[in-house]
Amino acid sequence: MLRQLYNALWYPALPLALALSGAAGEASARRARLGRAWADDGAAACGEPRIWAHAASVGEVGALRAVMAGLLGERPGATLVVTTMTAAGRDAARRTIPGARAHLLAPLDCRRALRAFLGAIRPTLVLIAETELWPNYFIESRRAGERLAIVNGRISERALGRYRYIRPLLRQALACADLILAQTEDDARRFLALGAPAGRIKVTGNTKFDPASLADAPLRAELAAFAPACPLLVAGSTAPGEEQIVIAAWRELRGRFDQLALALAPRHLERIAEVEEILRAAQLEYLKASAAEAGAGATPRVLLLDTMGELRAMYGRAAIAFVGGSLLPGRGGQSLAEPAAAAVPVLFGPFHESQRAVASALLEARAGAVVRDAAELARAAASLLGDEAERLAAGHRARAVVARMAGGVGATLMHLRPLISVA
């Protein structure tokens, strides 16, 4: 009954859903949201699997990257189609999962759209990344006879509380999954609380901790030329309300470390104009990454990272990293593994429930710290900047934490192989 109501509501809501998904005025996006963006060209190898891998956006694409590379390495004749909910995620998938035959905006969770999409793709295996619990994705995939697995699955306590209102529908959806590969024991417990079959839940770790996914990224010369002889504080994946806190902390730090430079990287590039206004209001000169030039001479001490896919490389330049989405409630924190893998001490806010496992490990290893406001951010950063030996040691401990937590990709591939062999 709940699923019938859910599907019935889609039809009057479809125009609004298309508009909110950014597909109202763009023909190609509209086709994608309605499940009509791709037609098979007949190039798939006979007997090889056809894989549909779905992720929400950039972060979830990162969870799929090494897994897809592993699957395609083992089955090079496979057909892979990657979908994402956002255009930024689609662009990230194009860069990081080049072996896919198509990178598309995802269909809406509407029964008609899903049936059109599945009829065109004809996947034999469906992989859903992390938290994308769209009921029709699961139920319609099972109806079409596909094998299905959740990869790098996670559910926060906050999300679990919200899901209680549609628990019967999610129980029906999760029953369609052949495997639920959870990041942690806590995530596994939450999937079980939603009604997932206990025998199908496996704890495989976080696929974002794969060494290949976290290997040092090359920094283009134009960004390497930014404040080259200066220590750098990189504030990555910041959310609304956090840039002002970071700027206040940086200004306080400049009183003691006058050479300290700052790189600001908002989580969503759509906020660049907003962050520029914040910088202007603070009367700060800044350089946009998109306008950086090698050999340009003296530059401002603030860099605004307004380009996609360069934050990981900037962490390699950092003396200290602050990871956003964590100072204010509602987001749960962003990836702590990327700066840690770059051997950089990691500071983050108290609202990091989506990163709880790695946060706890960093805190236990004295490789990171929780900061609640500008004063605490400045104090923690000053402690590290004032003791170079300890800063370097903390960075090495951070990298060691990530190395210990690696293995998620291998465990995930081990569980997926039987699904591919019978697909």
Give the C-alpha separation, 329 to 351, whole Å: 6
Give the C-alpha separation, 140 to 111, whole Å: 7
Give the C-alpha separation, 270 to 88, whole Å: 10
Give the C-alpha separation, 91 to 61, whole Å: 10
The catalytic position among 48, 60, 146, 277 is 60
Closest CA to 52 of 102, 110, 111: 102
Residue type, 108: L
Contact call for residues 208 and 187 (beta carbons, < 8 A): no
The three-point CA angle 156-157-162 to 5° equals: 95
Beta bridge partners of 83: 54, 104
Give the C-alpha separation, 144 to 367, whole Å: 48
Closest CA to 123 of 110, 112, 137, 134: 137
Give the C-alpha separation, 191 to 170, whole Å: 10
Distances (CA, A) of 260 to 218, 232, 233, 244, 335: 22, 6, 7, 17, 24
Neighbours of 393 (CB within 10 A): 15
Q: Is 231 helix (H, G, I), strand (E, B) or coil?
A: coil
Task: Report residue 193 as tokens.
Answer: 């609380």
C-alpha count within 13 angstroms, C-beta hemisphere, residue 165: 4
Considering all CA atoms of the chain, what is the largest pairwise distance in Å, rounded to the nearest integer? 67
Q: Is 60 a catalytic residue?
A: yes
Beta bridge partners of 318: none
DSSP of 108-140: PS-HHHHHHHHHHH--SEEEEETT---HHHHHH
Give the C-alpha separation, 392 to 59, whole Å: 27
Tell me which residues are annotated as active site. Answer: 60
